[in-house]
Structure 1
Amino acid sequence: MTHVVTEQCIRCKYTDCVDVCPVDCFREGPNMLVIDPDECIDCAVCIPECPVNAIYAEEDVPSDQIAFIKLNAELAQAQGWKSITKRKPALPDAEEWKDKPGKIAELAR
């Protein structure tokens, strides 16, 4: 099993989770993070760190977010999505986006 970053991260990109990850499995895209399923050790320490509740164990991903399991695996390997291991500031308008649903169209690859 692995953990999955879901839609809530889009246009926020809080990075609190990367500071606690013992295996550096997070990858950073233009406006969200993903978890590399080949690197994740299923420790779950990232879940409580996410201020927008965007991270789930794979078996707990809400039914309307299932596509993010495949999307995390795909984007973790995408060119330009580099490993992130240190916290950095969230996106400038993260507070405006953090509670908005239906952000998949906002995903920047």
Structure 2
Amino acid sequence: MTYVVTENCIQCKFTDCVDVCPVDCFVEGPNFLAINPDECIDCTLCVAECPAEAIFAEDDVPEDQQDFIALNARLAKIWPVITSRKDALEDADAMNGVPEKRDLLIE
């Protein structure tokens, strides 16, 4: 099993999770982070660190977010690895918890 970044990360991109990842499995896009399922070791450390509560175990991804499993895998092949914490996006706090942000994802 791997962990998956879901919709609430879009337009927030808090990187607290990156700091605790022992295997550097996060990749970074313009307004979203994703997890490389081939690198994730299921350590769970990132889950508690995510201020947006956007990271789930693959088996626990909400039903309406299931497409993010494949999305993380696809983006992990094209986005660069992020290995250290950065500032969140400028409007991250305001966007945290906003529903239906899929259309805002910049690939």
So what's the TM-score if we normalise by structure 1?
A: 0.97
Regions of 4+ moved over 4 Å:
none
Counting only pairs closer than 5 Å after superposition, residues 85-100 of structure 1 correspond to structure 2 as 85-100=83-98
SS of equivalent residue, structure 1 residue 59: helix
So what's the TM-score if we normalise by structure 2?
A: 0.99
Match of 2:21 in 1: 21
Counting only pairs closer than 5 Å after superposition, residues 1-12 of structure 1 correspond to structure 2 as 1-12=1-12
For 2:46 and 2:97, the matched residues in 1 are separated by 19
- In structure 2, the gaps of 5 or more residues are none
Q: 1:96 Cα shift?
A: 1.3
For 1:46 and 1:105, the matched residues in 2 are separated by 25
Count of residue correspondences? 107
User: How much identity, in percent, do the aligned residues show?
Assistant: 63
Counting only pairs closer than 5 Å after superposition, residues 1-109 of structure 1 correspond to structure 2 as 1-78=1-78, 81-109=79-107
For 2:85 and 2:41, the matched residues in 1 are separated by 20
Residue type of the alignment partner of 1:69: I
SS of equivalent residue, structure 1 residue 46: helix
SS of equivalent residue, structure 2 residue 18: helix
